[in-house]
Amino acid sequence: MNRTGKFIVLAALALVIYSAWTVYQGAQGFNPPAIEDVKKRMQADFAAKNMTVTEISMLRRSPRELAGFVKLKAQGSDEIQQKTCTATMAKDNVTTSWSCQ
């Protein structure tokens, strides 16, 4: 194999390794079911405080961090409040916590 062929093989190998690493990193942390679970827990918590949730949006900022907002109304009020929210996942990929301000 000549020098150009070796270079092409090494470049292809580097691309495969990079792609595998990217896929592996994407699989870590919050996945769609975990995000939905956080949103359900948020909605249940606000419902327990007599707040009606009208919208929740949580987007993945990094593998173990979500950021977004919740729109809610107090019982008996038509005024919609919006709060900024974050969620984090522990390194065990199971334990999550969230907060809204």
C-alpha span between 34 and 23 (Å, rounded): 18
pLDDT, residue 44, reads 96
pLDDT, residue 25, reads 56
Half-sphere exposure of residue 35: CA atoms within 13 angstroms, side-chain side: 19
Alpha helices in the chain (DSSP H): 3-27, 32-48
Structure token digits, residue 28:
């870590």
pLDDT, residue 37, reads 94
On the question of pLDDT at 26 being above 60, the answer is: no
C-alpha span between 78 and 36 (Å, rounded): 26
Residue 67 φ then ψ, to 5°: -140, 145
DSSP state of 78: -
Mean pLDDT on 53-75? 94
Using a cut of 0.85, tell me whether the model's pTM lies above it: no
Range in 4-8, 17-21, 34-38, 93-97 with the lowest mean pLDDT: 17-21
* CA Rg value for the chain: 21
Mean pLDDT on 71-88? 94
Mean pLDDT on 42-62? 95
pLDDT, residue 23, reads 61
